[in-house]
Amino acid sequence: MKIFHAADVHLGRRRLDGRLPDQDFADAFGFVAGKAIEEAADVFLIAGDLFDRAQVEPPHLRQAQQVLVALKQAAIPVVAIEGNHDRAFIHSEAPTWLQYLAEDELLILLRTPFDSTGPLLNKWENARKGGAWLDLGGVRFIGAGYL
């Protein structure tokens, strides 16, 4: 299985109070995805912090969508977890932009909820666009997210 991996993309990051462009983050993300497409990856992993903040501005959402659509058109599934920057609060259950992208079928978001007994490892289900684990090509992916 050929796996491509990206983490800490931080789309929308402001550097030097906005004096440096944020497009380079999107360009880097697009470059890695382009290589995955070129090399016919079996899966593309996003291991947290696709966005720099929980409140995503429209141009940065569009940057993510453009890359994810290209991967979808190439039939490369994208498996993602949320990082600490993707959520408003670490232990919040509030909706995130990664959930929005999952509902649009641009990625598979793996989330592992916890209760008093520990992690609840439920199989990912397409109908509810949720779950903690997924089997792809004989490999099990488990998404713990930011702990």
Transcribe 3-22 into DSSP letters: EEEE----BT--BGGGTB-S
User: Which helix (H) or strand (E) segment is 127 a member of?
Assistant: none
Asked if residue 54 is part of any domain, the answer here is yes
Is residue 41 a part of any domain in this protein? Answer: yes
Helix (H, G, I), strand (E, B) or coil at 65: helix
Shortest CA distance to 105 belongs to which of 137, 73, 135, 62?
Answer: 73
Residue 147: inside a domain: no
Per-residue pLDDT tens for 100-135? 999 999 999 998 888 889 888 999 998 888 899 999
Among this protein's residues, is 5 annotated catalytic?
no
Q: How many domains does the chain have?
A: 1
Active-site residue identified among 5, 10, 60, 85: 85
Please list the residues that pair with 14 across neighbouring strands. Answer: none
Q: Within a domain: residue 21?
A: yes
Q: Which helix (H) or strand (E) holds 143?
A: none
Answer whether residue 7 is part of any domain. yes
d(CA 116, CA 75): 39
State the pLDDT at residue 91. 64
Range of the domain at 124: 3-142
Q: Is residue 31 part of a domain?
A: yes
* Closest of 35, 17, 13, 37 to residue 25, by C-alpha: 13
Q: What is the pLDDT of residue 147?
A: 67
131 domain-assigned: yes
Predicted TM-score (pTM) of the model is: 0.89
CATH code (residue 79): 3.60.21.10
